[in-house]
Structures are given as C-alpha cells and as structure tokens.
Amino acid sequence: MAGSPRVGVLALQGDVREHAALLAGLGAEVALVRRPDELAAVDGLVIPGGESSVIDKLSRAFGMRDPIRAAIAGGLPVYGTCAGLILLADEIVDGIEGQQSFGGMDIAVRRNAFGRQTESFETELDVPELGDPPVRATFIRAPVVTRVGQDVRVLAALPDGTIVAVEQGRLLGTSFHPEVDGETRFHERLLAHVAARSHEA
C-alpha cells in the first residue's frame, strides 16, 4: 500500500515472524532489521521476545547496538515485548554478567520474574488506554517492571500491582506477547506513534 508506514522488526533472534505477520495485517510495510542501513530505513521498530542476553550480544556483533540507541534517543517509535521490554529498560536488576540494554525507558526490569517456561500463564488485563475488551495476555518467562520514572505511564498491572505494560513518549513495552493471541491494539498504538511522528516531520 502506498503511504503505508514502514515498520521494522529486529530480526536477530526471537519471535520475529509473529510480529511481522501482525503488522502486515494492520497495513504496515514490514522490514526485517539486522543491519544499521535497514534500521535507518524504518519509521518504527518492534523488538520481539526471545532471549534478551542473546539479542544484546548479537546486536553488538552485528554493529546494531549503538545505532538502535541513537535511533531511540532520536525519537524513533519502538515497541518491545518480553525480552524487548528488558532491552528498552535503562536498568536490568538481574542481568547476566556483562548484559547491556539499549535503554531509553526510565524503568528497572527483572528478568524471568515468574520462573521458568513451565510457569508461563495467561490472564486477562484491563488496559484503560486501550478500552474494552480486556487484553488477553500470555506471559512466557516474562519480566516485570520493578521501578518507573516520573515520565513513565503504567498501562497495565496484575491484580497484585505488578507492572506489566508501560509507555514513555514513543516507547512502549509489555511483559507479555500480544502477537501470540492476535491482540493488535498495542501494535496499533505503535503505528499511531509512527503516524504522529511523521506528521511532525
């Protein structure tokens, strides 16, 4: 479609295809991003779930870490799910030795907060910013947000108050995997940030 937003999915590791399919279904032109020149050609970026430490290492091996950090600092709309949320956090409270993040969100995140893959679970979340119906959320070895800065909006929390979805400016992060359940509203929100930025350009 002419005039469609061009949204990248960071394709170093993780559930890349699911995000790409969902974005394409929303009318976006999707690009798989592995190199700095591919990053420079997109209007928004999804950082998928996977292994945050592996994506971190591969981003450095592919020369992607600094370009991603610069793009975030420059206002590129980015949505991170699960591992992607960890990589957007300014602070990882229990990262493996040497683990780094891209940063950009004034939050602290704890990895694998709910335990191993066998302790994955599904629930329904009220997300007032997205309206009704509730979001069907799948948590797979999911992180949680343990601290938020004053400019961070909490979009969703579990009944015990555990924060699982946040937004700061044009950065969006969820502990869970909307793409697994066909939930499109977070990706639509990313596309809205992309549209708003293009109108300001």
Catalytic-labelled residue, pool 82, 183, 187, 193: 82
Q: Helix and strand tally (H, E) in the chain?
A: 6, 12
> 182 is written with which tokens?
């066909």
The question of whether 82 is a catalytic residue gets the answer: yes
Question: Looking at residue 100, which CATH number applies to its domain?
Answer: 3.40.50.880
Band of the pLDDT at 96, cuts 50, 70, 90? confident
The question of whether 177 is a catalytic residue gets the answer: yes
Domain assignment present for residue 62? The answer is: yes
The question of whether 188 is a catalytic residue gets the answer: no
- Mean pLDDT, residues 184-197: 96
Residue 187: domain span: 6-200
pLDDT of 97 > 90? The answer is no
Domain assignment present for residue 1? The answer is: no
Domain assignment present for residue 55? The answer is: yes
Tens digit of pLDDT for each residue in 107-158? 999 998 876 655 688 999 999 999 999 999 999 889 999 999 999 999 999 9
End-to-end CA distance of the chain: 21
Domain assignment present for residue 190? The answer is: yes
Domain assignment present for residue 54? The answer is: yes
- Mean pLDDT, residues 58-82: 97
pTM comes to 0.95
Catalytic-labelled residue, pool 18, 19, 177, 183: 177
d(CA 152, CA 167): 6
Domain assignment present for residue 167? The answer is: yes
pLDDT of 86 > 70? The answer is yes
- Mean pLDDT, residues 72-82: 97
Domain assignment present for residue 11? The answer is: yes
Catalytic-labelled residue, pool 18, 19, 167, 179: 179
Q: For the chain, what is the domain count?
A: 1
